[in-house]
Amino acid sequence: MLSKEVAALLNEQINKEFYSAYLYLDISNYYNDKNLNGFSNWFKVQAQEERDHAMLFLTYLHNNNEKVTLTSIAGPDKSFADFKAPLAAALEHEIFVTASINNIYEEAAKQKDFRTQQFLNWFIDEQGEEEKNAQELIDRFELFGTDARGLYLLDAELGARTYTAPSLVL
Ligand code: FEO
């Protein structure tokens, strides 16, 4: 049985992960509209990963006999000034999600909830990876994306990203 504090935070995290999927779909839509189909693909795959994260939190709660309460997912409120802006928004969002997961971990530690800490270890690693990927996209855009030919090649490369299921199975 989980403490009510930890269960509530895990429940809130489901919404945050689904919101992440919404945000990345919104970014995918933006790039699709600009005919940057590779960038659009990259964020569509990212949205699928976020949906997986939400489902992992939901399943973890089910596996611990906790009641899950789903709440409304806010519409992303982003209008992007230029091609780089969504990349910066994605990094900012990942930093927010990292802080949220760290906060659950902190509460789990306070409650001596070792199982939840172990479950969250995967997400802590994953957040390191996601922040790195988001920063790399910005760096590579700054290097190559401001030149039409570089942007074309970067878009083609991002178009090759394919979905893979998460390594964590519950
Ligand atoms: Fe599920 Fe990108 O954090």
Task: Give the CATH number for residue 48.
Answer: 1.20.1260.10
**Residues above pLDDT 70, as percent of the chain:** 100
Task: Give the largest CA-CA distance in the chain.
Answer: 56
Question: Is there an atom of ligand 1 within 6 Å of 19 CB?
Answer: no
- 97 Cα–ligand 1 center, Å: 6
Residue 79, pLDDT > 80, answer: yes
Residue 169 lies in a domain: no
- The runs of H, that is alpha helices, within the chain are 4-33, 37-63, 85-110, 114-140, 148-158
d(CA 70, CA 68): 6
d(CA 84, CA 21): 19
Q: 110-137 pLDDT, tens per residue?
A: 999 999 999 999 999 999 999 999 999 9
Residue nearest ligand 1's atom 1 by CA: 50
- 50 Cα–ligand 1 center, Å: 5
Residue 154 lies in a domain: yes
Question: Is there an atom of ligand 1 within 6 Å of 53 CB?
Answer: yes
Instruction: Provide the 8-state DSSP code for 65.
Output: T
Residue 33 lies in a domain: yes
**What are the Cα distances from residue 99, in Å, to 92, 95, 128?**
11, 6, 11
Residue 168 lies in a domain: no
What was the pLDDT predicted at 78? Answer: 75
Question: Is there an atom of ligand 1 within 6 Å of 130 CB?
Answer: yes
Q: 37-75 pLDDT, tens per residue?
A: 999 999 999 999 999 999 999 999 999 999 999 999 999
CA dihedral 137→140→146→151, nearest 10 degrees, is -80
Residue 137 lies in a domain: yes
User: Cβ(31)–Cβ(151) under 8 Å?
Assistant: no
Residue 50 lies in a domain: yes
Q: What are phi and psi of 46, to 5 degrees?
A: -60, -40
Q: Which atom from ligand 1 is nearest to the alpha carbon of 54?
A: 1
The chain-wide mean pLDDT, for the chain, equals 97
| Band (1; pLDDT cuts 50, 70, 90) | confident
d(CA 42, CA 155): 9
- 148 Cα–ligand 1 center, Å: 30
d(CA 74, CA 57): 19
Residue 164 lies in a domain: no
Number of structural domains the chain divides into: 1
Residue 32 lies in a domain: yes
- 57 Cα–ligand 1 center, Å: 12
Query: What one-letter code names the amino acid at 52?
Result: D
Q: Which atom from ligand 1 is nearest to the alpha carbon of 49?
A: 1
Rounded mean pLDDT of 151-166?
97
Residue nearest ligand 1's atom 2 by CA: 94
| Residue numbers of the domain that contains 126 | 4-74+81-158
User: Cβ(40)–Cβ(4) under 8 Å?
Assistant: no
What was the pLDDT predicted at 77? Answer: 78
Question: Is there an atom of ligand 1 within 6 Å of 40 CB?
Answer: no
Question: Is there an atom of ligand 1 within 6 Å of 107 CB?
Answer: no
